[in-house]
Structure 1
Amino acid sequence: MSGPDGADALRDSLRVAVTGAGGRMGREVIAAAAAREGVTVALAVNRTATDPIAGVDVADAGRLADLLAERDPDVLVDFTGPESAASYAETCAEAGVPVVTGTTGFDSSGTARLRDASRSVPLLKASNFARGVAALRRAVREAVAAVPGYDVELTETHHNGKRDAPSGTAKTILADVESVRGDLDERVHGREGDAPRRPGEIGVHARRAGDVTGEHEVLLAGNRETLSLTHRAGDRGVFAEGALDAAAWLADADPGWYDFDDVLDA
């Protein structure tokens, strides 16, 4: 792998393309790039007409292929939807542009399209770019292994406009739990009526309310004690900053499939 030697290493100059520029995260990425020394937004696109953001003009997403050829960005950062993200990744694969995507909700077909793109360019897919979430995941794996047999419940809370439930981060944490606890093989989403816990269950609860940026809690309970591990994001800027860290690292990587742990462990 030819990425930078350290997770915090940045290029002297990084030219970023941003898709979904008019969305919540697209705006955050552009704002974070404008505030970061040595980073330039080479192009920004959106599927609907959007006014300039932080001084950056936003073009029609249908022009992405031409703009990649004209502007020659070092990496593209994507926070859109599963179908558009897969399409953008394919366009980047043809153009030879690395891809960082924080889009979630892919089905098996969409993931396969991303995998195909990663054969031509480096592609980093992460459900969450907060360093605190990476620390939470590691803590969860260690804690679950340390208390075998304890019940596990996961609760996540997001703003009322979030589409996928449970969140991509929650699904990643659930996979972490299952990788350690082979006896937990059934995800129970919410409980209603006569619903005592059965062996092998992980309880999963998704809440949508207000403008909550993101909260994830893993509850472990057994042997007359409880342990709760929680991460709360104060605002979306933390995800944008992490995505730019990933972009700077990925820009010089070899073609292949990466995740945010690769950046943190570099």
Structure 2
Amino acid sequence: MGQALLRLASEQSTLQVVGAVAREPERLPTLPGVHRLAASELSQAPVFDVAIDFSLPEGFDRILDLCVARGAALVSGTTGIELLQREALAAASRQIPVLWASNFSLGVAVLNDLVERAAQALQGWDCDIVESHHVHKLDAPSGTALTLGEHARKGGAEPRYASLRAGDIVGEHLVQFTALGERIELVHRATNRDIFARGALHCAGRLVSRPAGSYRVRDLLD
């Protein structure tokens, strides 16, 4: 994801990358004006308006603390964060604009909304979520499937989950509502991982102008 973010950000005139942080910064591409930093050197990052974080739970606290200290916005797609970290994110949202999402596809953001609306309209229907990913993905159900399930519950449905791991599938999510004699299917298929980086960059560009608060991807679609 970091490689994709750097590559795609360089194509956007409205964004300027000032620093890139990784466990092994020497593996990052050398780009003009971009400081390559090890995770242990995060506090030395140059001045920035927004940080985009796709790291691990153990690195999440440091980037959140740095953003609060500098009054900068945070866009995070780090999965597996614990309850205390979610609470820290909520507390930070009172000082800076923050966005955490399990999936930065703009299409999935719309799908979340459609699922919630469908669940509200189809009370009593069965709701099943089937997600498919490549064979190397370990977590099941996926974070995206669980988020879709949360939206289904908001609408009044009780989702069930099924997970498939096969080949090199980037990501497919099917939400199915079924009643006697009829069925509705809402599907999103990702065919290129760049969509997640593009979505994160889209959100970062819009989050910096927002007041402090907690945002969702769909809040920043316009």
Are residue 211 (structure 1) and residue 168 (structure 2) matched? yes
Q: Which residue matches 2:43?
A: 65
Amino acid at match of 1:58: R
CA distance in 1, matches of 2:88, 2:22: 21
Are residue 32 (structure 1) and residue 8 (structure 2) matched? yes
CA distance in 2, matches of 1:135, 1:260: 9
CA distance in 2, matches of 1:246, 1:209: 30
Shift of 1:154: 0.4
Shift of 1:87: 2.5
Q: Which residue matches 2:102?
A: 127
Amino acid at match of 2:111: L
Q: 1:50 to 1:155 in 2, by over 3 A?
A: farther
Seq. identity, %: 36
Amino acid at match of 2:41: R
Q: Which residue matches 1:145?
A: 120
Q: Deviations for 1:147-206, whole angstroms, at most 9, x for unmatched residues?
A: 222111101122233343222211111011111116x3xxxxxxxxxxxxxxxxx32112
Unaligned ranges ≥5, structure 1: 1-24, 185-201
Q: Give TM-score, length-normalised by structure 2.
A: 0.90
Q: Deviations for 1:120-149, whole angstroms, at most 9, x for unmatched residues?
A: 321111222212112212222222233222
Query: Which stretch shows the higher mean deviation, 154-163 or 166-175?
Result: 154-163
Give secondary structure in 2 for the equivalent of 1:35.
Answer: coil
CA distance in 2, matches of 1:95, 1:211: 40
**8 A contact 1:31–1:54 mirrored in 2:** no
Give secondary structure in 1 for the equivalent of 2:7.
Answer: helix
Counterparts of residues 1-266 of structure 1 (less than 5 Å): 25-53=1-29, 55=31, 58-67=36-45, 71-181=46-156, 184=158, 202-264=159-221, 266=222
Q: Give TM-score, length-normalised by structure 1.
A: 0.76
CA distance in 2, matches of 1:248, 1:40: 10
**8 A contact 1:92–1:98 mirrored in 2:** yes
Amino acid at match of 1:237: D
Shift of 1:118: 2.2
Q: Deviations for 1:84-116, whole angstroms, at most 9, x for unmatched residues?
A: 123311122112221001122222112112222
Unaligned ranges ≥5, structure 2: none
Give RMSD over aligned pairs: 1.9
Q: 1:161 to 1:48 in 2, by over 3 A?
A: farther
**8 A contact 1:122–1:256 mirrored in 2:** yes
Give secondary structure in 2 for the equivalent of 1:206.
Answer: strand
Aligned residues: 220
Give secondary structure in 2 for the equivalent of 1:58.
Answer: strand
CA distance in 2, matches of 1:86, 1:213: 28
**8 A contact 2:116–2:155 mirrored in 1:** yes
Give secondary structure in 1 for the equivalent of 2:28.
Answer: coil
Moved beyond 6 Å, runs of 4+: none
Q: 1:168 to 1:54 in 2, by over 3 A?
A: farther
CA distance in 1, matches of 2:36, 2:136: 23
